[in-house]
Chains A and B, each alone.
Chain A
Amino acid sequence: MNRIDARFAALKAEGKTAFIPYITAGDPNLAQTEKLVYALEKAGVDIIEFGVPFSDPVGDGPVNQEAALRALKNHITLKDIFACVARIRTNSPIPIVLFTYFNPVLAYGFVGFARDAAAAGVDGVLCVDLPPEEATEYKAALDEAGVRTVFLMAPTSTDKRIELIARNSTGFIYYVSRLGVTGERDALETDLRSAVARIKQHTDKPVAVGFGISTPAHARDVASMADGVVVGSAIVRMIGQLGDTPDMPEKVAAFTKTLVDAAKVI
């Protein structure tokens, strides 16, 4: 069974919500990313989103943009990221989803990308700037390789689009909690609960909510309405501040644990 599916099934049986941190692969370097994965796993996270650095991250706010630039200064490529995931797989079964932009995948080639991702132990891929209607070949390649295809859903998605996205998503659906790019916000969207409920009318697939969730209080609230909570920029900002220091993974994991605990209260 795919590790993402298995994790959501287990959480459902326990009545718990998945906690999903986003980190940029290769920020500050891949050795630290690997250590951070183990530390986050120990902190109790369920799935890890691995950001693939891209030169033109149009869906990201400043915090994730800067993290991508730091990683690109180390010339991090998809091949390097696959090698990193393969190393992690010798030590850990934590589900890993790549969070990428389309052009690096297009340049790699869909079939090779899907094959190498699966071989490395990647469990799912989310492509920020790829809507399902443009994803036929991409999805066929990943389906064939047994890698889950997560698509974004947004507050502006119509019922028709919710159906389309739900049909094409495997593993889980990633709901963008608000209009805008990634980044921390003071408050959650007021109509988030009804938005998630609306999606649930169309699908039984797990729905994870991300964008703008940055505090334990947010994590607790979102956990009460969705199957997964994604936190990115708040964690990425801390990684950026600590940089390549020996105790960065432990410190980031300690902060993440406060979010995990909040999400698991429900």
Chain B
Amino acid sequence: MTSYGDSSTLQKHPWPDARGRYGDFGGKFVPETLMYALEELEAAYNEAKTDPAFQEKLAWYRTHYIGRPTPLYYAERLTEHLGGAKIYLKREDLAHTGAHKINNALGQCLLAKRMGKRRIIAETGAGQHGVATATACALLGMECRIYMGSEDIERQKLNVFRMRLLGSEVFSVESGSKTLKDAINDALRYWVANVTDTHYVLGTVHGPHPFPVICRDFQRVIGDEARAQILEMEGRLPHTLIACVGGGSNAIGLFFNFLGDEQTRMIGVEAGGISITPGMHAARFDGGTYGMLQGAISYVLQDEDGQIGSTHSVSAGLDYASVGPEHAYLFKNGRVEYTHASDEEALRAFQMCSQLEGIIPALESSHAIAHAVKVAPTMAKDEILIVNLSGRGDKDVTQAAKLLMPDEEF
């Protein structure tokens, strides 16, 4: 594999341990039926990780199919407009299928194929992970079932059609809050019943070990590239990195290879929703507490009895009650700062990026841009700020139009 001039991340951040823990977080909390599948997956992954043939195949698909490396783009007009730090956008929106999700989906589908699994299942919130998984399955000739909350299906109709066009079956999930969390529950229920011939492509750095580390390893290519690109373009490391955090895969992807660079500040941006009151947001580090949801110990939005709370965000991809355990660890030890942007701030950033750069960002990524809008003006002009533009916003235009132009018909 290409060497990107690694930072000292692995020395300073040797997680997860053998139990799948990141400090106090993570682990493997699933019904017994799935324990065998997790052990099998971990063994297969460890083998693939050190197999040059697998790594070559992955690298080949990254170059020729996903279109990597994605550009690190200097956003000149946005920089001038905000009048502070030099803003670079890591253009994951230009990866095939329009978001970073394909990095993990294709990696895991290649792994599943190697394990002899014939069927793939996945959950999806915004639809990006569902589309990425459906795409990888079409490419590799695998059967694919996608679970999606009925509320998300309503707000992401275009992605539902894309998944069907790609040959996947999409299952509408009517239980609970009818969003991402419930889609994961139903995917897990199906997996329990079909675990022998089915691989579950979990879409983020959450869930039981080894999912968080597998997803991180497939997503770290974002930061591996960005670090090499910025060193080549600017000859120095960035001052600040910003990424949005739902489950947290694009953020870990960008941050990971910089974790050892102590001079680089990192900020994860959660969904502030309408306000930071229960049920109106998805800012786990602002209203969440120590808990276990869907396989891992982390910060969870819950009531005092341990019942999972409802969440809200304008962006389906950030609308989740828990967060990846590695983020929980990085929050607790202070290496990464976490904040939130409201629905309104994200919508403003969505328009600003479109108008100043000709790039329509996903509503998820718009949360990261919204925070850049706040911090860039406070930074010196020679300081470098990298924002992960994790996905394109085409999927969001109908919803945004309804919010921004409520009097018109769409």
A56-B293, A58-B188 known; A154+B33 contact, CB < 8 A: yes
A106 to B291 Cα, complex, angstroms: 7
Q: Is B304 among interface residues, defined by CB-CB distance under 8 A? A: yes
Residue of B nearest to A53 (CB): B307
The answer to whether B308 touches A156 (Cβ under 8 A) is no
Shortest beta-carbon distance, A138 to chain B, in Å? 11
The answer to whether B33 touches A179 (Cβ under 8 A) is yes
The answer to whether B36 touches A129 (Cβ under 8 A) is no
Residue of B nearest to A80 (CB): B305
A181-B192, A181-B193 known; A56+B32 contact, CB < 8 A: no
Shortest beta-carbon distance, A31 to chain B, in Å? 20
Q: Is B282 among interface residues, defined by CB-CB distance under 8 A? A: no
Residues in B with CB closer than 8 Å to A130 are 29
Query: Which of A7-15, A19-27, A84-92, A97-105 participates in binding chain B?
Result: A97-105
Q: Is B176 among interface residues, defined by CB-CB distance under 8 A? A: yes
Partner of A103, one of B35, B182, B189, B293: B293
Residue of B nearest to A127 (CB): B29
The answer to whether A55 touches B294 (Cβ under 8 A) is no
A226 to B33 Cα, complex, angstroms: 19
Residues in B with CB closer than 8 Å to A77 are 305
Q: Is A190 among interface residues, defined by CB-CB distance under 8 A? A: no
Q: List residues 137-191 of chain B with CB under 8 A from any CB of chain A.
A: 175-176, 181-182, 185, 188-189
The answer to whether B36 touches A156 (Cβ under 8 A) is yes
Residues in A with CB closer than 8 Å to B35 are 131, 154, 156-157, 161
Is chain B's interface secondary structure helix, strand, loop, or mixed overall?
mixed
Q: List 13 A-B contacts (CB under 8 A).
A: A56-B185, A58-B294, A77-B305, A78-B305, A131-B28, A133-B28, A152-B31, A154-B35, A158-B36, A161-B35, A176-B33, A180-B193, A181-B192
Partner of B306, one of A105, A133, A181: A105
The answer to whether A55 touches B193 (Cβ under 8 A) is no
B: residues with CB less than 8 A from A are 19, 27-37, 39, 175-176, 181-182, 185, 188-189, 192-196, 289-295, 297, 300, 302, 304-308
Shortest beta-carbon distance, A97 to chain B, in Å? 16
- Residue in B292, B294, B305 whose Cβ sees the most chain A Cβ within 10 Å: B305
The answer to whether B36 touches A157 (Cβ under 8 A) is yes
The answer to whether B32 touches A103 (Cβ under 8 A) is no
Q: In the complex, given contacts A103-B306, A154-B32, what are 5 additional A-B residue pairs having Cβ atoms less than 8 angstroms apart?
A: A62-B175, A131-B32, A165-B32, A180-B192, A181-B193
A56-B176, A65-B175, A181-B193 known; A131+B291 contact, CB < 8 A: no
The answer to whether A103 touches B193 (Cβ under 8 A) is no
Partner of B307, one of A54, A61, A131: A54
Residues in A with CB closer than 8 Å to B31 are 58-59, 128-129, 152, 154, 176
Residue of B nearest to A78 (CB): B305
A72 to B302 Cα, complex, angstroms: 14
Residues in A with CB closer than 8 Å to B34 are 156
Residues in A with CB closer than 8 Å to B29 are 102, 129-131, 134
A107 to B289 Cα, complex, angstroms: 9
A77-B305, A103-B302, A107-B291 known; A179+B185 contact, CB < 8 A: no
Q: Is A82 among interface residues, defined by CB-CB distance under 8 A? A: no
A65 to B175 Cα, complex, angstroms: 9
The answer to whether A107 touches B32 (Cβ under 8 A) is no
Residues in A with CB closer than 8 Å to B195 are 156, 179
The answer to whether B308 touches A106 (Cβ under 8 A) is no
The answer to whether B37 touches A156 (Cβ under 8 A) is yes
A57 to B193 Cα, complex, angstroms: 15
Residues in B with CB closer than 8 Å to A78 are 305
Shortest beta-carbon distance, B293 to chain A, in Å? 7
Residues in B with CB closer than 8 Å to A112 are none
Shortest beta-carbon distance, B176 to chain A, in Å? 7
The answer to whether B305 touches A104 (Cβ under 8 A) is yes
Q: List residues 63-79 of chain A with CB under 8 A from any CB of chain B.
A: 65, 72, 77-78
A177 to B268 Cα, complex, angstroms: 44
**9 smallest A-B Cβ distances: which pairs?**
A107-B306, A180-B193, A104-B306, A156-B36, A154-B33, A152-B32, A103-B306, A154-B32, A55-B307
A54-B307, A181-B193 known; A103+B28 contact, CB < 8 A: no
Binary B-proximity of A144-161 (CB < 8 A = 1, otherwise 0): 000000011111111001
Residues in B with CB closer than 8 Å to A165 are 32
Binary B-proximity of A214-228 (CB < 8 A = 1, otherwise 0): 000000000000000
Q: List residues 189-219 of chain A with CB under 8 A from any CB of chain B.
A: none
